[in-house]
Chain A
Amino acid sequence: MAGDDAPTPATDPGAAEAIRCADCARSDSLVTGLEPVDRMPLPLEAAAGFPDGVPRARGLSRRDFLRTGAFGVASVYAATRIDWTRAFEAAVASGAEPANHLVMIFLNGGNDGLNTVVPVAEYDAYRRARPNLARVLGPPAAGQVGTAPMPGTGDAHAWASVCVSGPGNNGDTKGLDTLWGDGSGGPGSDLALWPAADYTPANRSHFDSRDYWFAGALEKRTTGWLGRWLDRYGSPDNPLQAVSIDSSISKQIRAAQAPVSAVRALSGVDFRVDRVSTRVGDATEQMAPLAQVRAGRGNAGLARARDVYGRAVQVSRSLRALSGAPTGAGYPNSSLSSRLQLAAILLGAGLGVRVVTIDWGSFDTHGNQLGSQDPQLATLSRALAAFRDDLSARGIEQRVVTVVFSEFGRRVASNNTGTDHGAGGLMMAMGSAVRGGLRGEFPGLSVLDRGDLRVTTDFRAVYSAIVAEWLGGDPSAVIPGGPFPLGGPLVG
């Protein structure tokens, strides 16, 4: 569940029950691998800054910040303890320069690409391999998910109807089809697909595969690929340059030196007391004087306790000042949406945020795949389309590339009610900067590798293109073992 420890609304498909392997159940008890070294308040002024697209923190001084307060708290991860006031100044300074941004959305558990983008050219083989899970051809029928055309693929592929706007997806006007456009790579074709992206030989373990994808290398590493990019090309002082919207940082942004951060949510800092009159439901103001009692000389432990409580009171007061932060509209009801909304605020805030990571979903569909994956695909497609609108409203859409990936694809043949771990997953990149269309070869269903799709795109080729063409830098300095050619440009 990727850090969604706030209770998720029952309507959130990310919370849908799926039958999963015992090994994966472990990843639910999310525990941070690293401890944050500090907490940095996020300035209110910066959050209030849309929709003109001008980085608002520009010219914002530390004094202004202390006056206006914070809208959230970033947990800072760094090799050494840092002072957040200095970090804040670094954030404002680096945010003054417009730059390209990257959002990495990890679909936790191994998304089944074949039921997301359906290989309709080989429909009979597809249906034979998974008779109990196959989409019906054409519009949804008899309660079954159908397929929707995917222009530009020569009718070889089709969207599962839960991914597109219209009746197949609750009649919503948003879906991946609105990003896909005509699939030509020209204007309005803003979604690139690699239908069998992975590494070879694929190892079907969740943990090894995740570690490889996060590390950008086929071995376990203490740094992530984006962490290494930050170490080389990022800021030495600004922890907001890479933010995991989660309770801990993603392994993708683990760096040797560069500071990075995790932000869980916009709110959640108060001293609330349950079952009391609304006039005293929040004990923050009663806590304030307790934090001001002076500790005896040399008593560092008690002084620390009171100081930390005092700072928490300050943060809580600031948060209360922010009633109704401006957030984008049109998102489906989901924890993914609230995190994308926060991502849009952070990217538009002018605080030098270059990279955002989001870890979402529960795609390990060994069983009950239709009941679990389909609502999540519907949410994902609508949330991505809403995110694009949100970024456009903030005037920064052209500077954001969003990548969606999962640790592996799933077996071509289904089991009883689901699919087991496989290889060759569906990887996507979205944004008007992206050259859209089917950018990787579909390996076909006639020749498989141990029952899995043959891998046609090394995921490190996409990473390398992101570094070279989007974030800026030398891919060989970030992704070991290359070069990994993508076979065409990522952007443009």
Chain B
Amino acid sequence: MSPVAVRGRRRRVRRPAGGGVQAALSEAMVDRLMWRTGFGPGESDRRRLRGLSLHAAVDRLMRAPQGPPQGPAAVRRDGGPVRPHESDVDLVLDWCDRMIRTRNPLVERLTLFWHRHFATSRDEVSPPQLMAQQNELFRRYADLAAFPTSNMRTLAYEVGEGPAVLRFLTGEDSTARRLNENYARELMELFCLGVTDAAGRPNYSEADVREAARAATGWRIDDANPDAPRAWFDPTRFDAAAKTVLGRTGAFGHRELVDVVLAHPSHAPFLVTKLWGEFIPDPPDPATLRDLARRYVREGLRLRPLVRRILTHPAMLASIREPNMIKPPVVYAIGMMRALGLGITDETLFYGLRDMGQPPYFPPTVAGWEGGAAWLNTNAAVARFALANRLLSASYAPLPGGEPEDVPAETPAQAVQRAHRAVGRPWLASGTRSSLTYYAAHAPTRSAYERTSRQRVLRALMLGGPDAQVM
């Protein structure tokens, strides 16, 4: 039995180095949890969650209602509201605004996960309302407090019968007479199963793809009113004859097709591995994977218990002294906005996300973003630092924490300390802290301008440097 089963009859607790799952959370652990499940810690999170067990902290995060967004809403450069249906920049910023102002960041992180999983690009999907509508669908399934029975089955039904995917994967063009295999293939390859199982055996055949495509025919989009797009089923386009998919035969329609695909033994390990990878960099060991997959199937593909088991797994707290997961650009950028108390006041964030390689709503391929180590290359590193610099300089917006003051008598260590507080006390390796203190001791400090310059450079290095890229 795996150590994940920490609740219920067969309770067993494993105590890894750095404290077990029942141990009181240290500040580093709170920070870890808030980055992996949200967009980084605020001081209130640190106060609220420190000393709780991982289970208790995760339960709090999962129970928190979304509530109304906090703080002033996003505005355009001209001061007017963003217009997500008129401009793609605004469409992206509108979602970023929710991430910045939400009371429950986990909901937005899971929404982002589903966007990465069921990747759909605005590049191929018009009108933009279709993307916004799909985003609301993902958010509904991501809000596990409001929708405790959120589950993969009905999610897959709704995504596949949603206008955004019907357009993106050309399902609306697929009819009994002119079959289009696009959606059927991705349903199996990208959404539910993967090409092969763990042993490298194919999960499905080309014949399965063709037959599955027949079951998914008949769906059309009515977007005559772009503000209320809807998909509808047109029986005259549907292939009503029997199909054989993955060894099962019937006059399947889309829902029956999804049921057949989700019943495939590769589905649970596929989805569990992917969801795990959103929160934990190293893949689950085989026993953990088996256990999570078994429970996920037994619980009717419900997502709330699965998410909870992953978030409370001891692997969440692995390498706690040295963060080991590269922040996705969206998480990094929104984390900076929240740490600095900034809202959206122009397009800076959009261009920053594009340059860092993750503009939401524009995944590069149907497989979404590769992520992991691929998030970082030299250009992306420069783009990340450039965004940190821009947010720190008042050229973006006045900082709620104010501009760096001149403190003539401060020691190099105090200068480092002050800069660290100003950017939300992010993790810094001790070697990094020594380097920064060395810089602070050797930077010119004769004038007030030089001293505030030193303060600005320290802040930029902490917020935009290599240590800030991991969580």
Mark each residue of chain A from 281 to 296: 1 if its CB lies under 8 Å from any CB of chain B, else 0.
Answer: 0010011011101111
Indicate if the CB atoms of B435 and A269 lie closer than 8 Å: no
Which residues of B from 374 to 418 have beta carbons under 8 Å from A?
Answer: 374, 376-382, 385-386, 389-390, 392-395
* A26, B370: Cα distance in complex, Å: 25
In the complex, A11 has a CB within 8 A of chain B: no
In the complex, A450 has a CB within 8 A of chain B: no
B362 → A minimal CB distance (Å):
4
* A287, B431: Cα distance in complex, Å: 13
Indicate if the CB atoms of A302 and B456 lie closer than 8 Å: no
Q: Which residues of B contact A300 (CB under 8 A)?
A: 281, 324, 373
The answer to whether residues A38 and B377 also contact, given A273-B389, A290-B467 and a CB cut-off of 8 A, is yes
In the complex, B334 has a CB within 8 A of chain A: no
- Interface stretch among B9-17, B108-116, B242-250, B442-450? B442-450
B159 → A minimal CB distance (Å):
22
B385 → A minimal CB distance (Å):
5
* A36, B355: Cα distance in complex, Å: 12
In the complex, A321 has a CB within 8 A of chain B: no
Q: Is the interface of B mostly helix, strand, loop or mixed?
A: helix
In the complex, B162 has a CB within 8 A of chain A: no
Indicate if the CB atoms of A73 and B378 lie closer than 8 Å: yes
Residue of A whose beta carbon sits closest to that of B435: A289
* A293, B380: Cα distance in complex, Å: 20
Q: Which residues of A contact B42 (CB under 8 A)?
A: none
Residue of B whose beta carbon sits closest to that of A291: B466
In the complex, B160 has a CB within 8 A of chain A: no
Indicate if the CB atoms of A293 and B429 lie closer than 8 Å: yes
* A350, B98: Cα distance in complex, Å: 50
In the complex, A272 has a CB within 8 A of chain B: yes
Indicate if the CB atoms of A302 and B373 lie closer than 8 Å: no
* A299, B429: Cα distance in complex, Å: 13
* A271, B456: Cα distance in complex, Å: 13
Which residues of A from 9 to 48 have beta carbons under 8 Å from B?
Answer: 23, 25-26, 29, 31-36, 38-39
* A271, B379: Cα distance in complex, Å: 11
Q: Which residues of A contact B364 (CB under 8 A)?
A: 32-35
* A39, B439: Cα distance in complex, Å: 30
Q: Which residues of B contact A323 (CB under 8 A)?
A: none
- Interface stretch among B54-62, B175-183, B268-276, B457-465? B457-465
Indicate if the CB atoms of A302 and B322 lie closer than 8 Å: yes
* A276, B392: Cα distance in complex, Å: 12
Indicate if the CB atoms of A305 and B431 lie closer than 8 Å: no
Q: Which residues of A contact B392 (CB under 8 A)?
A: 274
The answer to whether residues A301 and B470 also contact, given A31-B362, A33-B123, A295-B322 and a CB cut-off of 8 A, is yes
Indicate if the CB atoms of A75 and B432 lie closer than 8 Å: no
B40 → A minimal CB distance (Å):
16
Mark each residue of chain B from 26 to 65: 1 if its CB lies under 8 Å from any CB of chain A, else 0.
Answer: 0000000000000000000000000000000000000000
In the complex, A66 has a CB within 8 A of chain B: no
Q: Which residues of B contact A305 (CB under 8 A)?
A: 326, 376, 381, 466-467, 469-470
In the complex, B216 has a CB within 8 A of chain A: no
Indicate if the CB atoms of A290 and B457 lie closer than 8 Å: no
Tally inter-chain residue pairs, CB-CB below 8 A: 159
The answer to whether residues A272 and B379 also contact, given A29-B88, A279-B450, A287-B461 and a CB cut-off of 8 A, is no
Q: Which residues of B contact A304 (CB under 8 A)?
A: 326, 373, 376
- Interface stretch among A192-200, A309-317, A402-410? A309-317
Residue of B whose beta carbon sits closest to that of A76: B377
The answer to whether residues A275 and B381 also contact, given A290-B435, A300-B324, A301-B324 and a CB cut-off of 8 A, is no
Residue of B whose beta carbon sits closest to that of A276: B453
* A271, B452: Cα distance in complex, Å: 18
Indicate if the CB atoms of A280 and B431 lie closer than 8 Å: no
Indicate if the CB atoms of A270 and B382 lie closer than 8 Å: yes
* A38, B377: Cα distance in complex, Å: 7
Q: Which residues of B contact A468 (CB under 8 A)?
A: none
Indicate if the CB atoms of A283 and B380 lie closer than 8 Å: no
The answer to whether residues A274 and B389 also contact, given A279-B450, A287-B465, A315-B378 and a CB cut-off of 8 A, is yes
The answer to whether residues A301 and B466 also contact, given A35-B364, A273-B456, A286-B439 and a CB cut-off of 8 A, is no
Indicate if the CB atoms of B457 and A283 lie closer than 8 Å: yes
* A402, B37: Cα distance in complex, Å: 52
Q: Which residues of B contact A122 (CB under 8 A)?
A: none
In the complex, B359 has a CB within 8 A of chain A: yes
Indicate if the CB atoms of A301 and B465 lie closer than 8 Å: no
Indicate if the CB atoms of A271 and B385 lie closer than 8 Å: yes
In the complex, B323 has a CB within 8 A of chain A: yes
* A309, B88: Cα distance in complex, Å: 31
Q: Which residues of A contact B450 (CB under 8 A)?
A: 277, 279-280
Q: Which residues of A contact B460 (CB under 8 A)?
A: 271, 273, 283
Residue of A whose beta carbon sits closest to that of B123: A31
In the complex, B354 has a CB within 8 A of chain A: yes
Indicate if the CB atoms of B326 and A301 lie closer than 8 Å: yes
Indicate if the CB atoms of B457 and A280 lie closer than 8 Å: yes
* A32, B356: Cα distance in complex, Å: 12
Q: A273-B393, A274-B389 are in contact. List 14 more A-B contacts (CB 8 A).
A: A29-B362, A32-B364, A35-B370, A75-B379, A273-B457, A274-B393, A280-B453, A286-B439, A289-B435, A289-B438, A301-B324, A302-B467, A304-B373, A305-B467
14 contacts between A and B (CB under 8 A): A26-B88, A31-B121, A31-B123, A35-B365, A39-B377, A277-B450, A280-B443, A280-B444, A296-B321, A299-B319, A301-B323, A302-B466, A302-B467, A305-B469
Residues of A within 8 A of B (CB): 5, 23, 25-26, 29, 31-36, 38-39, 73, 75, 268-277, 279-280, 283, 286-287, 289-291, 293-296, 298-302, 304-306, 308-309, 311-312, 315-316
Residues of B within 8 A of A (CB): 87-89, 121, 123, 126, 281, 319, 321-326, 351, 354-355, 357, 359, 362, 364-365, 369-370, 373-374, 376-382, 385-386, 389-390, 392-395, 429, 431-432, 435-436, 438-439, 443-444, 449-450, 452-454, 456-457, 460-461, 464-467, 469-470
